[in-house]
Structure formats: C-alpha cells, structure tokens
Amino acid sequence: MKSKVNKSAYGYLFISPFFIAYALFGLVPILYTLYLSLTKWDGFSDPVYVGLANYERLVHDSFFWQTISNTLIIWIMSIVPQLILALLLALILHEKFVKGKHFFRAVYYFPNLISTVTLGVIFSLMFDWQTGSINKLLINIGLIQDPINWFNSPWWTRAIIASITMWQYFGFNLIVFVAGLQSISSEVFEAAEVDGATKTQMVFKITLPLLRPVFVFTFITSVIGGLQLFEGPLVIGNGGDGPGNSARTMILYLYETSFKAFDYSYGAAIAYGVFIVIMIFTAITARAYRLKD
Amino acid sequence: MVLKAKKWLSGFLAATMIIVLLAACGKGNSNNDSSPSASPAASPSGSASAAPSDSSAPAKLEGNLVVWTYFDQVKILAESFMAKNPGVKVDVQIFPGDQYETKLMTALQTGQNAPDIVDLDRGYIGKFLESPYLADLSAMGGDDVVKDHIPYVKEYGKSADGKLRAISDNSSPGGFWYVRESAKKWLGTDDPDQISAMVDSWDKIVDLGKKVAKDSGGKVHLIQSAGGLFDIMAYNTQPWVQDGKLVIDPKWKETYETQLKIRNEGVDAKLGFMSSGWGSALNNGDVVLTSMPSWATFMIDNKDGKAKGKFGVAKTPEGWFIGGRYEGIYEKSKNKELAFEFLKYVASPEWQLENLQKTGNMPSNALVFDQNQDSFKMDMLGDQLILKAYADQMKSLPGVKADKYNEGVLSKWGKVAGEGINNNTPYDKVVQAFKKEVKNTYPEIKVE
Amino acid sequence: MKGNIFVRTICYLFLIAVAITCLLPFYSMIITSTHNNTDIAQKLLLAPGDQLAANYERLMHSVNIWRGLWNTAFVTVAATALNVYASAMVGYGFSKYNFRFKNVLFIGLLATMMIPGQLGIIGFYKLMESFHMLNTYWPLILPSISSAFGVFMIRQFVDSSVPTEILESGRVDGYGEVQIFHRIILPLMTPVLATYAIFSFIGKWNDFLTPMIILFDNNKQTLPVMIASLRSAFVSDFGAQYVGLVVSVVPILVFFSAMSKRIISGVSAGAVKG
C-alpha cells in the first residue's frame, strides 16, 4: 500500500542535505582525483596530461591483480566464520532460557569499539616471532619446539588479518541478526510448535528464510566494507605487504602508491580501478540474491 | 518509559546540535584570532633584526618560527635556541612518524599553513631536495655555515646542482653496541679495540657467532639480525640507479650469502631493528653486539642512571650510518632570515656539543669531534672516548648526494631479500623478485 | 529433559568462551600498561604490576593525552549529532515521499559507499584550503552530514516500522511537513537513531587520516593521531604506549556499557526489518 501524497517538493527538501554535503565534500575531491588519474604527477612539479596511460599501466599491472585476489581471499576468510558465528550466537541468544542476554550482547560488541590500528598493534605484538605471547604460550604448553614465524607465511598472515576483522565485526552482525530475529513474529514459531516441528526444522524452515533480508543487508555492507580492507594489513605483516605481497590489499596498494611512493596520478588510477572492482562484486552479490527469488 | 526515552533522545539531539553549532562557531572564531600567531607570515615582527647592540654579543633576534618535525628531541633544540634568543618563539609541531611525509607533501603543495622550517629524514630527503619547496641556502651563505661539517653529511643536503638546501646537526654513525658484562662473558673481553678486531670481517663474525651460539646453548646470539647488514652495506655499495638504469652492486650477492650463513648458523637472534625484542636484548645483553646508530641510544633504558658505564661501542666491519634528520627552509616562508639564523644554530658546534651531552647524538660538525674527542665521555659508555672511536670512520666516508630513488629502491631490496633470508631462497630468485618490484613501483627506471 | 540441560550447558559454555575472547585483549592491554618495558617484551603477563604511575608520567611528559581525549570527544559528538540528524531527514525523505528520479538518486547514494575513502584526500585538502578551513574542526564535522550507510539503515527502518497513516493524520491535524518530521517522525525513529548513533560515533572516534592531514596544532590534535605519534615518540616505550591505548579505549568502553541497554534494546525494537 503506497498512499504517498504528492509532496515531491518536500521530498527533495528532505533528501537535499545528503546531496549538497556530498557534492561539496565528496564529489569535488573525487573529480579532482579523476583529473589526476589522467596526468603524470609526482607532487612536486605541475601535473602533465597523459590521457589513459595510467589506466593502461593498471590493466597490465600484475601487482594490482594480485591485490584483488588477496583482498577476496582475506575477505572470504573473515566473512564466512564471522557470519556463522554471529548467526549461531544470535540463535542461542534468541532462546528464552538464556540469562544475561544483555550482558553477552554488550560484551560481543566491545571489539567493535576499538580502532583497527590499535587492534593491529595488539595482534602484531601477540604474534611476534621471537617475543610474542602466542609463541610463548605454545612453547610453554609444549605444542611447539621453536617459535613460529607467523608473518613469514602468506596464509598465517592472511588468517591473522582475517581474524582481526572477524573478531572486530561479528558483534556488529550479531546485533543486526538479533534485531532481525526479534522482528519475526513469535506467533509463527508457536504455530510451528503446535504442528510438532522440531527445533532444527524451525531454524531451517522458518528462521533462516525469514532472515533473508537481514542477510542481504549484512552481506552487501560487508562486501563493500570488506573489499576496502586497509588498516589491518597496514599494521600487521612486515611493512604491510606480507610475504610475497600476499597480504597487500587493493586499498593498501592505493595507499602505498599515493603516499609512500608519491605516485599520486597512478594512485588515482588505482582508486578508480578499486571502485570498479567493488561495484562489480556488489552487483554480483545483489544479483545472486535476486536470482534466488 | 519508552516515551520518556524518545523524548529524552530528541531533546538530547536538539541540545547537542545547538551546543555543537555554537561551540564549532566559537572554535572557528577563536582559531581565526589565533592564526596570526600560528603563521608567522602575518606577524610584522617576524623578521630578524640584524642590529647588534654590541660587537661581541650576537644579534638580537625577534619573531616566531614554526618547525615541523617527526622527532621528539627537536623540542630540546628549540628550547636551547629560545634560551639563547629570548625574543624568538619557536613552535615545534611533531607529527607521527609514518604519516609525516604525507602531511608535509600535502601542506607544501598548497602552501597553506606550511611551516618555516621542515625536518626531512634521509629516507626521503632526495625527492624534496630537487623540489621547488626548499630554499637555496647557498644563496644565503649556507656553504660557509657548513664548511666544517663532515663531508657525507654535508653532501647529502645538496641538490643535484650543488646548492645547499638542508643542514643536519647529526651524523648518525653506526657501530656495534654491547653490554660490557655480556661481552666479557661471551667474547672474553669488553675492550672496544679488541672486540673491533675480533669482528672486522663478516667471516669472523660468522665464526664467532657460531661459537657464541654453541657456548650458550643457543640462548645468546652474537648479533640482532641478518637484516642489519642491509643498512651497513647500503653505504658501501654503488647507488642503485645510475643513468636511469637499475644497477645491482655485486657486493649485494656476497652480502646476501653472508646473511644466509648468519641466519642458518644461528648467529643472529632474528630480531628486527627497533622491535620490542630488539630493545630488550640490547638492554639485557642476550644479544652480544647490536649494530645501531648513535641516535638510537634512546632505546637504552637509563632510568636513574642504571646504564652508567654499562655499554661499549666497537667498530663494524665497514663504516656506515643510518637515518639522519635534516632541516631546510620552506621556499615561501616569509621568515627566511630568522629561519636561517635557526639553521645556523643547528650547524654550530655550540648546539651540537650540547646535543651530544644531552642526548648522545653524534655531531655533524667536525670541529666538535676535533675539540672534544680526547675528553668527551658518555655516561653509559664509561671511559670509552666515543668521539674518537667514530671520528676516523666518519671523516673518511665518501660524500654522496641524495637521489630520488636510492632509499626507496634500498627498502625494496630490504623487503625482498629479507623474505629471502627467512625462506633460504637462492640469490637469483631474490634478484628476480626484486627487479619485478622495482619495475612496478618505478616504471621509468630501466630494469634489465 | 536431561538432554535439554546438556544442550543448555553447551550453549552457556559457548557464550562464555566467546565472551572471554572478546574481553581478553582488553584485559591484557590494561595489565600490560602496568608493567615496565623489559617485562612487556619478555614475559607473558597475567597479573597487574606496579609501573602504571611511572608509565603514565612518561606518557604525559610527551603528549597531553587528556587534551586529545577532549578534542576527540568534541569532534565526535558534533559529527555524530549532525550525521544522525541529517541521515534521519534523508532516510525519511526517501521512504515517505515520491518524486522524480527517486530510485536513480537512491542508487547514486548507495554507490557513494563503494568509493574508497582515501580516494579524494588530496583534493579534499585543497578544497579545505580554499574554504580556509585548514587547522579547524569544520572539515572533520561537516562532511559527516552525508553518510550513505546511515540513510540506508534509517530508510529500511522507516519503510517497515513507520506507517504512512501517521503522516496523514499529522496533516489532518494541520502540521506542516517539516513539523511532522520533527514532532512525529523523529520520536518514532528513536530506536534506529540510537543504534545508528553508536555506529557513527565509533567510526568517528577512530577516524585517523583526516585529522592527521587537516590539523596542524598539536593541542588541537585528536586521540588516534596522538596514539600514532606515541608509536614514533616511544618506539621502545611500550609501557607508555599501552597507557595511552588504555586512556583512549576505556572511556568509550564505559560510555558504551552505560548506554548499551538503551542502544541494544533500541535495535531490538526492530531496527532492521529489511
């Protein structure tokens, strides 16, 4: 039912703050970046127009392609366990018998309060090769003889970065899931109970299908957020790239090119490349959901 | 209850909005009020008045200076300068290490709120020297100011056309620092000269390191990390980029093989430069020899003077230095004369001696070496005449000009070869990966 | 019934185990801040030490962390308030009004989320320079008006939980459109606004790159930048660094704990119905 009165002028009025502020503070800088991406500029002399040369370089840049797969790998390593954990906890917390729901939810949300940079510092200290507490612990309980050089292994490095992200965001997803669960009318469950449905059946036949919109929400935001992963790998892994550049994400590459090598114009081209990649994956995700309908 | 909460929230929102807007406006205004003092350009007194009241007394200086740096100890320099020149206010702004360069670039590009004096690290000074942002100090008489400076320090502050653009008050020589007690126990002596002789070649270091590892049951290591050789060799090899082409000095191959040997024979403790483990091993002697520059002494725990006489410094197989903070004047600063007076102070033996005494930073002015090398002693080094130990090595290092690529390419080499050492990768493969990295970051360099 | 108890115990154990992993790093951070540097580097620390005061003293000697805390609190509260208010307006506008290009505009709005934040930093700096806003808090506060995520979240809420009839009855009562928004809709949105306010607050609280680039005066600087500068000023001084981290994390933790009942029950009221 859409009985919306035609007050379209007010519609524009209400949405105008976003577009005015974005045009001013977002769009202008981004267009400037677009201009930079068509130039050669090292930050010292004036930019020189070079056409699409930076984009041509980008397409042939094997490092850039590697960063795309790195980002995807790290994202998958963090999102899959993260969503499963969040969903599992949400289902448990939704049970009537659980006491202290409020306390648990609050505690699970704690990690989300700390900045990734801080977390990165804590984790890199914990996993330090020679002095980290993880290695000390493992040696103390006799699991290993010699300390493990975590950040010398591409997979460990990625796993540690992924676990930071996971640890940081599962509480956020949990809250969203709990909200979704609570929006499902309890009558549905009561009716199912009367019909003699088991707990498992209820979860798979009722809860999960009804949670679908919530999944779409979390998944799309996490695609967008996850593909922009940056601070974790910046702080973790020696110099940020990980062994064989295995932990260099797209945005990290953008950051290094622009602000470490000061190749602003190429950095700008990378930025637009990243934008396109994120758009493609968001479209794929949205498509995948629609197809299921 | 729910209604209350709702009212509470909308009331809260409205109240904060008002407070915020008022406060933000207030901030904006107060900032405008204070901005003249923050940017000396606008202050009329912001120039050096070079009218000496007495021929023997230095000129009375007046005005404000803004210095941007990444190094905490610049505060000491500013305080010392202000104590000598009560009419001058030096405002030192310190920015976090990693982001300082980004910040500097953005500010210099636009010229807004830019400082009068900028600190530049060796690691990236090359790019700035060739930029239009640094004032030509030669034109202001800078060459005379640095005439007694050690050649390699002096040269590094010059642009390709030979003009002086930045001055440093430190020479950052590197040496093997050791805890005397630990050296006595594992090397049998704590005499700097004897130890220097024991480690005057890399082969000797490997052999000695094997012995230390064996004697201690693998608990104590001779050196901190095989990676330390990158820094030492960096100043004993050819520049990486010559005539636009990548050149890999054959010495790197030798060095890499030594590094592999060091790692595989358990000679090093595998502790990265400046990591927490590195710091504690330096202080407790679990690593016998720590190769580090003179400015790294702030890593030594000297609380209540407990490091008094604890350390000694021996020579590394080859002379080297690492890091080094340079100061230049922003080309568009309205305060150049006063800023130049500040740089003169930076270059002077007077400040450098004070700095040496207060912080242990090695001077760049050879006069300080000459005048004090038979008398200067550092608390933590006991009786060792530290200036003397460094002097010859320092003065003989060749003067090399900074270039745009050298430090950046070196760090690529450090990264790739460092991984190679961890994985025992053959040299050829390391070179291959290295070339790929260079080609990628600097497409304009020819790589064969 | 026995099986039931067994399952419940497992559930509780699981909940508690996850809770512990969430709290452990905080515990370890606080414990670490009370030890000296040698112990921090070498030992596995589980019990509190006695070096807190000494570490704190060295920290304060170099940076005024409380000043940074105040600066961050000011900027964050200002930006959050603006952000929440503007997002509520925009989300509401998209939900309850019909106008041309509505869908195109909404997709455009969502697309802004995909643009990496680091993309425009140089242009942003140049723009702020031309506005004479460098070294002020304006560039940190004003851009937060436009948050696509906030609009997205609030629109979802309004779509599902604010019946259009309420608007109609407001109109019948003679309210203007803007009045309707302020008097009727805004109070109804409280749950989602509270939730979003927290998300926005945390994002702003941890903002690093923009203040780093925009602010020059050390005593205007925000907490995350100060923490980062600690890392360079105290390369080896982990004790002081950890005290800095504690100062930066504990207030927000306390604030959240105090507010969490309101916030989380806010979400529970049905923030996301999709």
Q: Cβ(A111)–Cβ(C22) under 8 Å?
A: yes
Side chain identity, residue B230: F
Weakest mean pLDDT among A50-54, B7-11, B44-48, C164-168: B44-48
How far is the alpha carbon of B366 from chain A, nearest alpha carbon, in Å? 34
pLDDT tier for residue B6 given thresholds of 50, 70 and 90: very low
Who's near C175: CB < 8 A, 6+ residues apart?
A: C183, C184
ipTM field? 0.82
The Cα C105–Cα C94 span in angstroms is 9
CB contact under 8 A, A130 and B415: no
Whether C73 has its CB under 8 Å from any CB of chain B: the answer is: no
CB contact under 8 A, C41 and B5: no
* Residues A120 and A15 reside in one and the same domain: no
Overall average pLDDT of the C71-94 stretch? 95
Three-state secondary-structure class, residue A285: helix
Alpha carbon A223 to chain centroid, angstroms? 6
Task: Give the pLDDT confidence score for residue C270 in this predicted structure.
Answer: 43
Give me the residue from B27, B35, B38 closest to C137, CB to CB. Answer: B27
We report the CATH number of the domain holding residue A248 as: 1.10.3720.10
* Residues A26 and A95 reside in one and the same domain: no
* Residues A130 and A27 reside in one and the same domain: no
Task: Give the pLDDT confidence score for residue A287 in this predicted structure.
Answer: 81
Domain assignment present for residue A46? The answer is: no
Alpha helix segments (H runs only) across B199-285: 202-215, 228-234, 251-264, 276-284
> Considering only residues 215 to 274 of chain A, which have any Cβ-Cβ distance to chain C shorter than 8 Å?
216-217, 221, 224, 228, 230, 251, 254-255, 258, 264, 268, 271, 274
Domain assignment present for residue A44? The answer is: no
Task: Give the pLDDT confidence score for residue C232 in this predicted structure.
Answer: 60
Residue in chain C lying closest to B21 (CA): C78
> Considering only residues 147 to 176 of chain A, which have any Cβ-Cβ distance to chain C shorter than 8 Å?
167, 171-172, 175-176
Predicted confidence (pLDDT) at residue C45 exceeds the cutoff of 60: yes
**Domains contained in chain A, number:** 2
Classify strands B221-223 and B287-293 as parallel, antiparallel or unpaired. Answer: parallel
Q: pLDDT: is B118 or A234 the higher one? A: B118
Domain assignment present for residue A48? The answer is: no
* Residues A145 and A68 reside in one and the same domain: yes
Predicted confidence (pLDDT) at residue A69 exceeds the cutoff of 80: yes
CB contact under 8 A, B97 and C231: yes
**Average pLDDT value for chain B:** 82
Task: Give the pLDDT confidence score for residue B314 in this predicted structure.
Answer: 92
* Residues A15 and A91 reside in one and the same domain: no
pLDDT tens digits along C200-228: 888 888 887 788 878 877 788 888 888 77
Three-state secondary-structure class, residue B222: strand
Task: Give the pLDDT confidence score for residue C161 in this predicted structure.
Answer: 79
Domain assignment present for residue A251? The answer is: yes
Task: Give the pLDDT confidence score for residue B49 in this predicted structure.
Answer: 39
Which domain covers residue A125, as residue numbers? Answer: 53-292
Q: Cβ(A249)–Cβ(A70) under 8 Å?
A: yes
Q: Cβ(A266)–Cβ(A207) under 8 Å?
A: no
Task: Give the pLDDT confidence score for residue B24 in this predicted structure.
Answer: 42
* Integer angstrom CA distances of residue A26 from B79, C19, C119, C210: 42, 39, 10, 13
pLDDT tier for residue C43 given thresholds of 50, 70 and 90: low
Q: Which residues of C touch A7 (CB under 8 A)?
A: 97, 177
Task: Give the pLDDT confidence score for residue B97 in this predicted structure.
Answer: 64
> Considering only residues 105 to 134 of chain A, which have any Cβ-Cβ distance to chain B shorter than 8 Å?
125, 128-131
- Both tokens of residue A231? 């601070």
Its CATH architecture, for the domain B63-171+324-376, is 3-Layer(aba) Sandwich (3.40)
- What is the gyration radius of the CA atoms in chain C, in angstroms? 23
pLDDT tens digits along B368-420: 988 888 888 888 888 888 888 888 777 777 777 778 888 889 989 998 999 99
- The neighbouring-strand residues paired with B321 are B173
* Residues A86 and A18 reside in one and the same domain: no
Domain assignment present for residue A45? The answer is: no
* Residues A125 and A61 reside in one and the same domain: yes
Task: Give the pLDDT confidence score for residue B247 in this predicted structure.
Answer: 93
* Residues A267 and A155 reside in one and the same domain: yes
Q: Which residues of B touch A61 (CB under 8 A)?
A: 440
Q: Which residues in chain B are classed under CATH 3.40.190.10?
A: 63-171+324-376, 174-321+383-441
Query: At A40, phi and psi to the nearest 5?
Result: -115, 120
The Cα B246–Cα B447 span in angstroms is 5
Q: How many CB atoms lie within 10 A of CB C146?
A: 25
Side chain identity, residue C118: Q
Predicted confidence (pLDDT) at residue B435 exceeds the cutoff of 80: yes
Question: Which H or E run includes B312?
Answer: strand B311-314
Q: Which residues of C touch A113 (CB under 8 A)?
A: 202, 249, 252-253, 256
**Average pLDDT value for chain C:** 83
* Residues A152 and A10 reside in one and the same domain: no
Overall average pLDDT of the A170-192 stretch? 81
Task: Give the pLDDT confidence score for residue B96 in this predicted structure.
Answer: 65
* Residues A93 and A157 reside in one and the same domain: yes
pLDDT tens digits along C97-147: 988 888 899 988 988 887 877 777 778 887 888 888 888 999 999 999 999
Evaluate whether the domain defined by B174-321+383-441 bears CATH number 3.40.190.10: yes
Query: At C235, phi and psi to the nearest 5?
Result: -50, -40
Whether C44 has its CB under 8 Å from any CB of chain B: the answer is: no
Side chain identity, residue C111: A
Whether A26 has its CB under 8 Å from any CB of chain B: the answer is: no
Q: Cβ(C92)–Cβ(C186) under 8 Å?
A: no
Task: Give the pLDDT confidence score for residue B32 in this predicted structure.
Answer: 37
CA atoms within 13 A on the CB side of A101: 18
Q: Cβ(C186)–Cβ(C239) under 8 Å?
A: no
Weakest mean pLDDT among A3-17, A27-41, B43-57: B43-57
Q: How many CB atoms lie within 10 A of CB A147?
A: 17
Q: pLDDT: is A34 or B389 the higher one? A: A34
Q: How many CB atoms lie within 10 A of CB A103?
A: 13
Predicted confidence (pLDDT) at residue B9 exceeds the cutoff of 60: no
Q: pLDDT: is B35 or A16 the higher one? A: A16
* Residues A143 and A280 reside in one and the same domain: yes
* Residues A19 and A148 reside in one and the same domain: no
Who's near C173: CB < 8 A, 6+ residues apart?
A: none
pLDDT tens digits along C186-205: 988 887 888 788 888 888 88
> Considering only residues 234 to 273 of chain C, which have any Cβ-Cβ distance to chain B shorter than 8 Å?
235-236, 238, 262
Delineate the domains of chain C, giving CATH numbers in brackets: 53-268 (1.10.3720.10)
pLDDT tens digits along A197-214: 887 888 888 888 888 877
Concatenated DSSP letters for A181-203?
Answer: HHHS-HHHHHHHHHTT--HHHHI
For the entire predicted model, the pTM comes to 0.82
Q: How many CB atoms lie within 10 A of CB C184?
A: 17
Tracing tokens 């480690």 back to the chain, one arrives at B199
Q: pLDDT: is C15 or C192 the higher one? A: C15
